[in-house]
Amino acid sequence: MPLPLFLAAGAAIAGAAGIGSGIHGAVKMKEANDTMKSTERRHQQNQQRFEKQNSETTKDMDQLGRLEMEILSSFKDFCDAFEKIKNRPQFHTYSKNGVTIPSYDGEQLKEVSVGAGVLLGGIGGAAAGTAGGFAAAGATTAAVMALGTASTGTAIASLSGAAATNATLAALGGGSLAVGGGGMALGSTLLGAATLGVGLLVGGVIFNITGSSLSDKADEALAQMLRAEKEIDRICSYLQDLSQTAVNYIKSLMSVQRTYKAQLQRLTDIVNKAHKTNWNDFTADEKTVTENTILLVNLLYQMCKVELVKKAADENKLNTINKDEVTKSIADAQQTLKDKGFAA
């Protein structure tokens, strides 16, 4: 074969090889691009799922925190009426059917009522999760600490609004419901077209190498997304569990609160409308109303002491939902209402 023809044939073969390699590289680039796009889209969906669940859980926990603070602050009305009754007997610890409720302590109830009122005044302008933080740490504890001293030396009870809330949160060591950050940043890789350069064969190799390199990056991005997805699944499951625990506790608290309000109204009517302030003048029914109201106050006080979340010793682990104590508190409340003849 004449040399020019041989060279031409060799060039054609090299060109064909270059084109084939280039097509293969282009396919790999497209696959990498598709992988990156689907990876980013899936990760965004995971992030949105996390943000939605976090928002829902924060809302439920905030509702619980506000409810507990409202209950605690309402104890002032009870104390005002109860303290007017003269010659009243000593009301001892209640213990029946496995339920134990400590005896009445007027000073404790007054302190927690004032503290809860301070916090309620600051919740309105506070960030989402603040009230939930109080419930997580135990609303009674938060209310009592509201009577403590801020880092400036100012009594927290003398502060108002956000200042009171911030000071109390600082005293509690936080209170944020957040369990995750903004997620993992996957970033994005631009799959640009490579130049033909010095020939189809070399150009094909560039396409192929570039495609392989980007495919590796896309695969790594996919692996990162899957790891993040697993973590998001774990956190969302935790948040769902916490949310359901909060909702169950809200229902139990509201059940006791309804009964308490009805009994408190009867007690205040006895004292303020009927003007009965001497225990010796109380009828058997009026004494029962008073005793039941005291019991319900103490029950609610104990329920609001429950920490919904126990802080994990390891910062890399999720906090523990205090489901055992919450479950027992709910069961105790139901048993007490049943024993006293109130519908649960």
For 27-31, 163-167, 294-298, 309-313, which range has the lowest pLDDT when averaged over its residues? Answer: 163-167
Q: How many residues are present in the chain?
A: 344
Segment 211-219 shows an average pLDDT of 54
Segment 245-253 shows an average pLDDT of 96
Count CA atoms within 13 Å of residue 267 on its CB side.
28
- Joined tokens for residue 301: 């006080």
Higher confidence at residue 30 or residue 86?
Answer: 86
3-state SS of 302-313?
A: HHCCCCCEECCC
Question: Is residue 155 left, alpha or beta, with left meaning phi > 0 and alpha meaning psi from -120 to 50?
Answer: beta
pLDDT tens per residue, range 39-89: 888 888 888 887 788 788 888 988 998 999 999 999 999 999 999 999 988
Higher confidence at residue 8 or residue 242?
Answer: 242
Predicted local confidence at residue 303, as pLDDT: 94
Higher confidence at residue 308 or residue 211?
Answer: 308
In the chain, domain spans: 19-39+50-174+216-339
CB atoms within 10 A of CB 70: 15
β-pair type (99-101, 94-96) = antiparallel
Question: Is 60 exceeded by the pLDDT of residue 269?
Answer: yes
How confident is residue 7, by pLDDT bands cut at 50, 70 and 90?
Answer: very low
Percent of the chain at pLDDT exceeding 70: 69
Rounded to an integer, what distance in angstroms lies between the CA atom of residue 123 and that of residue 70? 11
